[in-house]
Structure 1
Amino acid sequence: MEKTIKELIEKLGVKTENLDLFLQAVTHTSYAHEKKHNNISHNERLEFLGDAVLELITSEILYFRYPNLPEGELTKLRASIVCEESLLKVAHKLELGKYLRLGRGEEASGGRERASILADSVEAVFGALYLDVGYERTKNIVHNLMNELYEDIDRDRSISDYKTTLQELTQKNFDSCPIYRIVEEYGPDHDKKFVAQVEVDGNVFAKGKGKSKKEAEQRAAKIAWEKLK
């Protein structure tokens, strides 16, 4: 187990001798309960700490990344990042499932791929990082692991006005509002893609692809607007 946990630590880009701390971060309660006579610690306390660390890091990054956004909008953006879906993406990026220490029952029931276990373990790893290398180094690591999510927000914000703009145009020209439909979904749960189509006055004007339903609709709206303007 020492060899595999060193592999995970290398992926995180840190040098540490504190292997026990990171072993605890990947130890599920089911494993600790089975080994209770060995006095093994599970990762729930580290998860608690990591959740708070992640929220602070995300708040700080968003605060400086979007200096003109009000508190309410920043809160919404933070919620879109500090969520199970986002943590699951980090877990898959780190291949965290293969490092988990699970009880026999949890192992047999597919615990290594269970979203809640993976997400909780990512937070526990963040908690371990904070204790081992401090806040600033942890912030850099977390930012690198989750940078794609911030880029998604930037992309969403850059196209966020197209649905409104298209609606204004179709109301003027057709006296009707666009209708959006998700017509296709593909890819694994942690990296799903969506295809949306937009209909105007009963006709399909455009299709758009995105990493979320919202992004797919916005892209379809942009294409339709460019056709109609």
Structure 2
Amino acid sequence: MKLSADLKAFQTRLGYAFERPDLLVRAVTHSSMSTPNRDDNQRLEFLGDRVLGLVMAEALLDADRAAAEGKLAPRFNALVRKETCAAVARDIDVGAVLKLGRSEMLSGGRRKEALLGDAMEAVIAAIYRDGGFEAARSTILRLWGKRVETVEADARDAKTTLQEHAQSLKQNPPSYREVSRSGPDHAPVFTIEVQLASGEAATATAGNKRNAEQAAAKALLEKVKP
């Protein structure tokens, strides 16, 4: 199988060249495009999630040999969660090569966090099946980059941290307000504003309220904490 020009360019962004191009094609094929003769990426996603988990668990143990399990678990969750996978997918523009059915394409599937995160996991599995564990491991660590080093900050729940900050200043808890909601019912996009009693505020946008609130809280923390 020969890869299309866009998938060849994606291989360059990914930093891995496939011996079996069919694995890459399957990894970027959403279930909305599956047919009896075309497999989608769901089974690869299942495998990729496990490969990513093993790589990140090992990386965390190596990075901090004194950390207890209670410290490692939230760091691990922050590195393997769907939002992080989607962020890595955006870094290498996985969305540009996703093979989507018409309905998913029209509803903005190339930008959906869940689809991007799933595809990133599937690409990891495709590398693992093509080149083995070491190939997958080196690719993951390169793409995740400094996220492993800075995970301690990301591992903390931003809303909880912001509330603790407000309490330390003897303020009321932060207030959250939905500024806008856009997009179709099956793929809404929320913009949330969070404000402290002292007046500082920040906004953020995400595909669900929880993620938008967390992102807004994180943005406000970056403003108010030294």
Both proteins in one fold, TM over 0.5: yes
Alignment-derived partner of residue 217 in structure 1: 221
Q: Write the distance in 1 (CA, Å) between the matches of 2:18 and 2:166.
A: 55
Q: Write the distance in 2 (CA, Å) between the matches of 1:150 and 1:7.
A: 26
- Cα pair distance change 1:105/1:197, threshold 3 Å: closer
- Cα pair distance change 1:219/1:180, threshold 3 Å: farther
Cα offset, 1:147, TM superposition: 1.9
Letter in 2 for 1:23: V
Alignment-derived partner of residue 145 in structure 1: 143
Q: Write the distance in 1 (CA, Å) between the matches of 2:123 and 2:153.
A: 28
- Identity of matched residues, %: 30
- Given that 1:2 and 1:19 are in contact with CA atoms closer than 8 Å, whether structure 2 keeps it comes out as no
- Does the alignment pair 1:10 with 2:8? no
SS of match in other structure, 1:56: helix
Q: How does 1:6-155 map to 2 (within 5 A)?
A: 6-32=8-34, 35-36=35-36, 39-154=37-152
Cα offset, 1:80, TM superposition: 1.2
- Cα pair distance change 1:42/1:79, threshold 3 Å: same
Q: Write the distance in 2 (CA, Å) between the matches of 1:50 and 1:66.
A: 24
Cα offset, 1:198, TM superposition: 8.3
- Cα pair distance change 1:196/1:77, threshold 3 Å: farther
- Cα pair distance change 1:131/1:73, threshold 3 Å: same
SS of match in other structure, 1:40: coil
More helix by share: 1
Q: Write the distance in 1 (CA, Å) between the matches of 2:5 and 2:129.
A: 21
Q: Give aligned pairs, total.
A: 202
- TM-score computed with the length of structure 1 as normaliser: 0.70
Letter in 2 for 1:2: S
- Given that 2:166 and 2:174 are in contact with CA atoms closer than 8 Å, whether structure 1 keeps it comes out as no
- TM-score computed with the length of structure 2 as normaliser: 0.71
- Cα pair distance change 1:182/1:16, threshold 3 Å: same
- Given that 1:197 and 1:217 are in contact with CA atoms closer than 8 Å, whether structure 2 keeps it comes out as no
Gaps of 5+ in 2: 156-160, 178-190, 203-214
1:41-86 deviations in whole A, cap 9, x for unaligned?
1111110110000111111111111212111221111111111111
Letter in 2 for 1:120: D
Letter in 2 for 1:4: D
SS of match in other structure, 1:51: helix
Q: How does 1:150-229 map to 2 (within 5 A)?
A: 150-154=148-152, 177=170, 181=174, 213-214=217-218, 216-217=220-221, 220-221=224-225, 223=226
Q: Write the distance in 1 (CA, Å) between the matches of 2:147 and 2:24.
A: 25
Cα offset, 1:134, TM superposition: 1.6
Cα offset, 1:105, TM superposition: 1.9
- Given that 1:84 and 1:115 are in contact with CA atoms closer than 8 Å, whether structure 2 keeps it comes out as yes
Letter in 2 for 1:70: A
Letter in 2 for 1:44: Q
- Cα pair distance change 1:207/1:116, threshold 3 Å: closer
CA RMSD between the two structures: 3.8
Letter in 2 for 1:106: E
- Cα pair distance change 1:60/1:212, threshold 3 Å: farther
